[in-house]
């Protein structure tokens, strides 16, 4: 049995390895029926936590898993919790003002819905400021801990402060999520001069049993090499970076996949800002799928972990329905070609700005690598 999915619910046989071209074998009836794929979703009108013990009986999304270095099966789809119920102070003001305009649901309500929709991998972070709310939803769902895959990340401020701060933060995360171990814990950004030591602290915490696997996020090839040369003993199992057809950095992706590092794709949906792109509409029409589902499927077919975020239950359902169709190699190539030189420049600027974000070096280029692999 794979990760919390009973044999009876596995309607899809798929093999996803940490290589470019996972092969999928869709059963004939499944390929013709999206509705058959995400079974027993009982979410209509359900937004109050008091109604919710339904999650314990909800059926997990029958997704393929991707093996980490030690063989741990990593679910190929998860629920992203950034800007769910809370916007961190240093998030962009434009987004924050949009957030204020719309009536917001709490993170515990949204996560409860995601669990009811069958998501079992929750993508969390210290920075997102909502782990206590995520923990509340987990507790009220009644889902067994062993059936969940919880990932969190330690933020730059804490990384800069060093070992004791990192230890205290992990304890806080465990307390808030209501668990005594985390499946995966990541360095959120490669804070210059600090991230290697922080990673070594995570290694100790693995040995102490609080973390099952460790990895990194927003690491360039050069950050990874610095880590390896810094004398670590446990190679990162994942690198969580922005990946979508509009930011498809082939050399970087090839490098990490060749190193056996699984890539978790964030902003897989391009933050919701590319849904009217004509190519997505064209490919979507030929598969009777939405633009979001085309983006999700592209991710899955490349072997990346897909972790869409939505506060809307209908979109949570929609985003999960990416395992019942296949993009052709021509469609994949068309999508692969959407990344422009301007997008790579924007990426580079963002990297330089973010590695020191919220640290005492915020706003400076102190220690920032100016010559990283961009593409």
- Taking the complex as a whole, the smallest distance from the CB of residue 24 to ligand NAP amounts, in Å, to 21
Instruction: Tell me the C-alpha distance between 367 and 352, whole Å.
Output: 10
Q: What are phi and psi for residue 222, nearest 5 degrees?
A: -70, -35
First vs last C-alpha separation in the chain: 38
Nearer to ligand NAP, 9 or 177 (CB): 177
Nearer to ligand NAP, 8 or 94 (CB): 94
| Contact set with ligand NAP (CB under 6 A) | 80-82, 123, 188, 217-218, 240, 266-272, 275, 292, 307-312, 315, 318-319
Smallest Cα–Cα separation from 154: which of 194, 102, 97, 95? 194
Instruction: Tell me the C-alpha distance between 79 and 73, whole Å.
Output: 16
- Taking the complex as a whole, the smallest distance from the CB of residue 23 to ligand NAP amounts, in Å, to 26
Nearer to ligand NAP, 271 or 334 (CB): 271
Smallest Cα–Cα separation from 151: which of 82, 232, 228? 82
Instruction: Tell me the C-alpha distance between 175 and 166, whole Å.
Output: 14
- Taking the complex as a whole, the smallest distance from the CB of residue 292 to ligand NAP amounts, in Å, to 3
Smallest Cα–Cα separation from 222: which of 197, 239, 203, 201? 239
- Taking the complex as a whole, the smallest distance from the CB of residue 279 to ligand NAP amounts, in Å, to 16
The gap from C-alpha 25 to its chain's centroid, in whole angstroms, comes to 24
Nearer to ligand NAP, 80 or 192 (CB): 80
- Sequence-ordered strand ranges (E) for 262-356: 262-266, 305-306
Nearer to ligand NAP, 1 or 94 (CB): 94
- Taking the complex as a whole, the smallest distance from the CB of residue 361 to ligand NAP amounts, in Å, to 18
Residue nearest to ligand NAP (CB): 80
**Annotation says 128 is catalytic:** yes
Nearer to ligand NAP, 153 or 210 (CB): 153
- Taking the complex as a whole, the smallest distance from the CB of residue 207 to ligand NAP amounts, in Å, to 25
- Taking the complex as a whole, the smallest distance from the CB of residue 127 to ligand NAP amounts, in Å, to 8
Nearer to ligand NAP, 18 or 151 (CB): 151
DSSP string of 42-99?
A: --TT---GGG-GGGGGSPPP---EEE-TTSPEEESB-EE-TTSS---TTS-HHHHHHH
Catalytic residue chosen out of the listed positions 82, 119, 128, 224: 128
Smallest Cα–Cα separation from 319: which of 302, 294, 353? 294
CA distances from 132 to 113, 173, 271 (A): 16, 8, 24
Smallest Cα–Cα separation from 259: which of 284, 286, 232? 232
Four-point Cα dihedral 111, 167, 225, 19, nearest 10: -30
Catalytic residues: 128
């Amino acid at each position: 049995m794979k990760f919390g999915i009973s044999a009876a619910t596995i309607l899809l046989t798929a093999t996803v390895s940490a290589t470019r071209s996972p092969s999928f074998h869709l059963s004939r009836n499944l390929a013709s029926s999206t509705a058959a794929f995400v079974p027993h979703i009982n979410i209509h009108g359900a937004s109050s936590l008091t109604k919710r013990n339904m999650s314990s009986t909800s059926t997990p999304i029958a997704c393929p898993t991707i093996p980490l270095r030690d063989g741990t099966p990593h679910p190929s789809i998860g629920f992203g919790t950034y800007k769910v119920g809370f916007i961190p102070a240093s998030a962009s003001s434009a987004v924050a003002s949009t957030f204020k305009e719309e009536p917001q649901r709490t993170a515990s309500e949204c996560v409860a819905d995601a669990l009811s929709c069958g998501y079992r991998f929750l993508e969390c972070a210290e920075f997102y400021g909502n782990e206590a709310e995520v923990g509340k939803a987990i507790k009220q769902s009644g889902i067994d801990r062993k059936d969940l895959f919880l990932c969190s990340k330690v933020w730059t401020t804490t990384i800069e402060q060093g070992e004791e701060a990192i230890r205290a933060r992990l304890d806080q995360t465990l307390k808030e999520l209501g668990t005594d171990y985390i499946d995966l814990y990541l360095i959120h950004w490669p804070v210059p001069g600090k991230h290697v030591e922080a990673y070594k602290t995570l290694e100790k915490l693995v040995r102490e049993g609080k973390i099952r696997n460790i990895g990194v996020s927003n690491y360039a090839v050069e950050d990874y090499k610095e880590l390896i040369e810094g004398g670590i003993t446990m190679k990162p199992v994942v690198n969580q970076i922005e990946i979508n057809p509009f930011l498809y950095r082939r050399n970087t992706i090839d490098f990490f996949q060749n190193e056996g590092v699984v890539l978790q794709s964030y902003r897989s949906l391009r933050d919701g800002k590319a849904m009217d792109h004509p190519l997505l509409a064209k490919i979507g029409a030929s598969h009777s799928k939405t633009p979001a589902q085309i983006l999700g499927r592209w991710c899955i077919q490349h072997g990346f972990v897909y972790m869409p975020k939505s506060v809307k239950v209908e979109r949570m359902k929609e985003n999960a329905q990416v395992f019942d169709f296949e993009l052709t190699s021509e469609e994949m190539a068309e999508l692969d070609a959407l990344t422009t030189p301007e997008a790579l420049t924007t990426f580079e600027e963002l990297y330089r700005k973010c590695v020191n974000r919220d640290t005492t070096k915020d706003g400076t280029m102190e220690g920032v690598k100016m010559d990283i692999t961009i593409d």
